[in-house]
Amino acid sequence: QVQLVESGGGLVQAGGSLRLSCAASGRTFSTYALGWFRQAPGKEREFVAVIGSSGRTTYYAASVKGRFTISRDNAKNTVYLQMSSLKPEDTADYYCAARSSSILSKIDRSYDYWGQGTQVTVSS
């Protein structure tokens, strides 16, 4: 079984930066594709970014492309989301997720494991 724990959320002013981390347990972490999703109050969960098992391939939602960077350190069983040029509309609960597939996906229901989330609030 895989367990995911997010950290790094908090309050930040518009234009600022935050780095989210997601620490994972599991012997086969390096074989999983890893994604970040977010959910704002009253809205549905949406895709943010995904990274392949090797770390060489990534995909981003259009709303964050150029501002966010996803990366992973398989030796540390950790995936990161570096967020820059933050906007108030980035305010949401952020979740990391894992799926046992080499195929990248932006569909939340295709992911097998989820963290409990970390809150990000961007003030104007």
For the segment 14-47, what is each residue's pLDDT rounded down to a tens digit? 999 999 999 998 766 788 999 999 999 999 999 9
Ranges 36-40, 67-71, 74-78: which has the least confidence: 74-78
pLDDT of residue 92: 98
pLDDT tens-digit map of 1-13: 789 999 999 999 9
Beta carbons of 115 and 22 less than 8 angstroms apart = yes
How many Å apart are CA 81 and CA 47, to the nearest integer? 13
Neighbouring residues of 89: CB distance < 8 A, sequence distance ≥ 6: 40, 63, 122
6 neighbors 94 (Cβ within 8 angstroms): yes
Predicted confidence (pLDDT) per residue in 79-96, tens digit: 999 999 999 999 999 999
In angstroms, the CA 102 to CA 26 distance is 17
DSSP 48: E
Q: Within a 10 A sphere around the Cβ of 56, how many other Cβ atoms?
A: 7
